Amino acid sequence: MRLGITFDRLRWEEKALKEEAESLGVRAELLDAKGLSFDLLKGGNGDLGDVVLQRCISHYRSLFLTRMLEAEGYTVVNPYEVAETCGNKMATTIALAKAGVPTPRTMVALSSESAEKAAEELGYPVVLKPFTGSWGRMVSVVRDRATLQAMVELREELPSPIDHMFYIQECIERPPRDIRAVVAGDQVVACVHRYAPEGEWRTNVARGGTSKVFTPEAGLKEIILKAAACVGGGVLGVDAMESPKGYVVHEVNNTVEFKGAQSAVDWSIPKKVIEYVMEAKR
Amino acid sequence: MMNSKCAECDAGVAIPSDAIVGEIVSCKECGAEYEVTELNGDMAMLKPAEQVEEDWGE
């Protein structure tokens, strides 16, 4: 079995995935997506492997590459539809809500005009998030109307039309931590609490958040697996919070980073991922 | 450990001996990031790494 691991920025995760694949007897190759181009009519980019594990950090690059690889007949983990749903927070929320997975109340405003109305309807404080990307970038708690107006004005100055629409979420009263579960198929590979660093409310490991492992109770595990399944399943990072009314899932990540979670567990997360990928091909 | 020069500040950029093509290394002096494009014995070729884009992250 040969595995292609596509990337655009080589991180610890991709190197660890290659290493684990090889220790499992799988020939793995790291493929720089930035060096690829596709002839859409003729196809053909050489042989990239029996299965491709998509690890691009750029949402659109990842999405486009997956679509073209699938058109050439490759099995890609995760598939295009999953990447599309997870890469757009609006689509993720719709999938979660449809499946009955508890998720924070969310409104999408299609212009700056309606953003204010949406925030009023949710009630301050609200959380303003970008539709794609993140690591906590441009995610902010907005406590009042004046701050919202300032944020909206700032977003309007940005050149991309997607920044002129607004994803606004109720602010969940939670402890200074959230939950990251790494899921592979129907298995919760690792589940950690992520703690925000001092002076920060966001728990993203990219912002210095730290991880502590814990065993999810049955109810939480069920929610995590349901969240993963409702976006189409695969190798995913499900993020949840402890709200006063119970657990709520706020994100499902398509190209899950697990360096933080790995630092908290004594088993190999990349090994479990590779085992799933190989199974997905069969 | 290999060394290369930082195009921004001219300091030496240390490249770990187990580095592979595609890996990101950064200048300890000014923080500029580089991608390893070629490894040939003791020589490493670098190019400026892509900057964070709006659609990056998870």
Residue A59, domain CATH: 3.40.50.20
Query: Is A209 inside any structural domain?
Result: yes
Counting beta carbons within 10 angstroms of the beta carbon of residue A164, is it exposed (0 to 12), middle (13 to 18) or buried (19 or more)? middle
Asked whether the predicted pLDDT for residue A281 surpasses 90, the reply is no
Name the residue type at position B21.
Answer: V
pLDDT digits (tens, 9 = 90+) for A231-251: 999 999 999 999 999 999 999
Question: What total number of domains does chain A contain?
Answer: 3
Give pLDDT tens digits for A262-272: 999 999 999 99
Kindly state whether residues A248 and A148 are assigned to the same domain.
no
B18 part of contact set with chain A, CB < 8 Å: no
Mean pLDDT along residues B43-54: 89
Give the CA dihedral B45, B48, B49, B50, nearest 10 degrees.
-140
Tokens of A199: 């002076």
What pLDDT is attached to residue A169? 98
In a domain, A94, yes or no: no
pTM for this prediction: 0.93
Whether residue A203 is found in the same domain as residue A257: yes
Q: How far is CA A49 from CA A31, A36, A146, A281, in A?
A: 10, 14, 53, 11
In a domain, A161, yes or no: yes
- This model of the complex carries an ipTM of 0.84
Would you say residue A24 has pLDDT above 70? yes
Nearest by CB to A59, from B20, B22, B55: name it: B55
Alpha-carbon gap: B10 to the closest alpha carbon of chain A (Å):
24
Q: Are residues A181 and A235 in the same domain?
A: yes
Q: Do A132 and B54 touch (CB under 8 A)?
A: yes
With an 8 Å Cβ cutoff, are B58 and A237 in contact?
Answer: yes
B54 interfaces chain A, CB cutoff of 8 Å: yes
Tell me the average pLDDT across A164-193: 96
In a domain, A252, yes or no: yes
At position A135, the amino acid (one-letter code) is: W
Residues 6+ apart with CB under 8 A from A71: A40, A43
Q: Round to whole Å and give the CA distance between A112 and A119.
A: 11
pLDDT at residue A199 in the model: 86
| Domain encompassing residue A156 | 106-170
Q: Which one-letter amino acid corresponds to residue A248?
A: V
Q: Which residues of B touch A257 (CB under 8 A)?
A: 58
Residues of A in contact with B21 (CB under 8 A): 32
Same domain, A196 and A215: yes
Q: What is the CA radius of gyration of chain A?
A: 19
Supply the CATH number for residue A257's domain: 3.30.470.20
**A81-105 mean pLDDT:** 98
Closest CA to A231 of A103, A50, A61: A103
A266 in the same domain as A186: yes
* Lowest-confidence region among A87-91, A178-182, A278-282, B25-29: A278-282
| Same domain membership, residue A251 and residue A179 | yes
Cα–Cα distance measured from residue A191 to residue A54, given in angstroms and rounded to the nearest whole number: 22
> Does A221 score more than 90 pLDDT?
yes
On whether both A164 and A185 belong to a single domain, the answer is: no
Q: What pLDDT score was predicted for residue A11?
A: 92
Name the pLDDT band for B1 (thresholds 50, 70, 90): low
Find the closest chain B residue to A135 by CA distance. Answer: B57
The sign one gets for the Cα dihedral B34, B39, B40, B41 is positive
Alpha-carbon gap: A145 to the closest alpha carbon of chain B (Å): 25
**CB-CB under 8 Å, A9 with B50:** yes
**Judgement on whether residues A192 and A238 belong to the same structural domain of the protein:** yes
Quick one: CA dihedral A16, A276, A27, A53, positive or negative?
A: negative
CB pairs under 8 A between A and B: 55
pLDDT value for B28 = 92
* CA angle, A102 then A249 then A260, to 5°: 160
Q: What is the overall mean pLDDT for chain A?
A: 95
Using the beta-carbon criterion (under 8 Å), do A130 and B54 form an inter-chain contact? yes
pLDDT band at A94 (very low <50, low <70, confident <90, very high): very high
Contact criterion met (CB below 8 Å) for B24 and A10: yes
Cα–Cα distance list, A136 to A73, A262, B26 (Å): 35, 20, 22
Residue A134 lies in a domain: yes
Residue A186 has pLDDT above 80, yes or no: yes
Residue A99 lies in a domain: no
Residue A158 inside a domain? The answer is yes
Q: What's the CATH number of domain B2-48, 3.40.50.300, 2.20.28.160, 3.30.70.2740, 2.40.320.10?
A: 2.20.28.160
Q: State mean pLDDT over A16-40.
A: 96
Give the CATH number, domain containing residue A141.
3.30.1490.20
Token pair for A160: 């991309």
Question: Comparing A43-52, A89-98, A173-182, B7-16, which segment has the lowest mean pLDDT?
Answer: A43-52
- Inside any domain, residue A96: no
Whole-angstrom CA distances from A54 to A86, A193, A274 are: 14, 26, 12
A239, closest residue in chain B (CA to CA): B58
pLDDT over 90 at B23, yes or no: yes
Nearest chain A Cα distance for residue B52, angstroms: 9
Q: End of a domain among A53, A85, A117?
A: A85
**Mutate: best of A12, A18, A32, A57, partner B, most B CBs <10 A:** A57
d(CA B48, CA B55): 19
Same domain, A110 and A80: no
Residues A127 and A212 in one domain: no
Contact A9 B58 (CB under 8 A): no
The rounded mean pLDDT for chain B is 89
